[in-house]
Structure 1
Amino acid sequence: MSVTLPPDYKPSEDEEFMNPKQQEYFRQKLLKWRAELLQEANETLSHLTQENLQKPDMADRASLETDHQIELRTRDRERKLISKIDAALQRIEDGSYGYCEETDEPIGLRRLEARPIATLSLEAQERHERLERTHRDD
């Protein structure tokens, strides 16, 4: 089903939760975020291949290598984020997007707006984090 959104559309609490407009809004938001991450990854790859690690000064070379490592770690985190974005897009396709994977309750528009890849409601996320802290202290 194809839905056309008005240019100024924002999901509202007054609407039915995860109606076709909201689904399309979040689908477009996720696709845009994914495209931005891929663009940054391509720029990093281009930048890394253009940089020459053969600096005559050892300090300059070490600094450049450190910068490269930081960039690569950032891109690795973004690669994992792209996987989460892809999973969220799949949830939109199968109709489970926007619902907590633990409770099946709506996650909430404000949380999805802030973190479109969220899979847990705020309450379930807080429970999860409390459990993690408890087990980490053991």
Structure 2
Amino acid sequence: MASSAKNSSGSKSGSNGEIVLEEGYKPSADEEFMNERQLAYFKNALEHWKLDIIEESKETLAHLQDGPIQEADLNDRASSETDWGLELRTRDRQRKLTSKIDAALRRIEEGEYGYCQVTGEPISLERLEARPIATMSVEAQEAHERNEKISRDQ
């Protein structure tokens, strides 16, 4: 059985040095920003999200390997092909999302997670909670999107 010891922040360290969070822990603005508990919380959330995506992908692959579409009716066949196309596009978006999750996990390891890549300022905990792969603060993201829109409109 793995031993664990409480550290000064009230969280536990497992025998492998990983932070073990108490049940129900949520990052708070009352704590030091991106302390080891917050980093462990977001790392755990990102890893679980990635595992969920991988499981869904396996289910899709199994479904697609069931065989070709064999509906006799042309409308049914077209509907099935549309469904397959949607499913494949969804999986492609999830593949891209998986690479963004991997990038966020790298930022955690490198000590850059939670900070805006444009301004260097902390990204709000609320934004990271809603979008753990965020790389920009809300303000920087809005400015980026305004600039993209202006570029598209020209």
Match of 1:135?
151
Rounded Cα–Cα distance in structure 1 between residues aligned with 2:71 and 2:20: 53
Instruction: Report the residue type matching 2:45 in the other structure.
Output: K
Unaligned runs of 5+ in 2: 1-16
Instruction: Report the residue type matching 2:146 in the other structure.
Output: R
TM-aligned CA deviation for residue 62 of structure 1: 1.1
Aligned CA-pair RMSD: 0.9
Q: Does 1:32 align with 2:48?
A: yes
| Alignment deviations for residues 52-95 of structure 1 (CA, whole Å, 9 cap, x no partner) | 41221111111111100000000000000000000000000000
Q: Does 1:49 align with 2:46?
A: no
Instruction: Report the residue type matching 2:143 in the other structure.
Output: R
Rounded Cα–Cα distance in structure 2 between residues aligned with 1:49 and 1:61: 17
Instruction: Report the residue type matching 2:57 in the other structure.
Output: A
| Alignment deviations for residues 70-124 of structure 1 (CA, whole Å, 9 cap, x no partner) | 0000000000000000000000000000000011110110000000000001111
The alignment-based identity, stated in percent, is 59
Match of 2:107?
91
Rounded Cα–Cα distance in structure 2 between residues aligned with 1:65 and 1:99: 43
Q: Does 1:6 align with 2:17?
A: no
Alignment of 1:52-131 (within 5 A): 52-131=68-147
Unaligned runs of 5+ in 1: none
Rounded Cα–Cα distance in structure 2 between residues aligned with 1:75 and 1:81: 9
Structure of higher RCO (CA pairs closer than 8 Å, 6+ residues apart): 1
Instruction: Report the residue type matching 2:41 in the other structure.
Output: Y
Instruction: Report how many aligned residue pairs link the two structures.
Output: 138
Indicate the SS of the match to 2:94.
Answer: helix
- Greater helix fraction, Structure 1 or Structure 2: 1
Rounded Cα–Cα distance in structure 2 between residues aligned with 1:125 and 1:55: 46
Higher mean C-alpha displacement, 127-136 vs 47-56: 47-56
Rounded Cα–Cα distance in structure 1 between residues aligned with 2:60 and 2:28: 37
TM-aligned CA deviation for residue 51 of structure 1: 4.5
**TM-score when normalising by structure 1:** 0.97
Deviating beyond 3 angstroms after TM superposition, the runs of 4 or more aligned structure 1 residues are: none
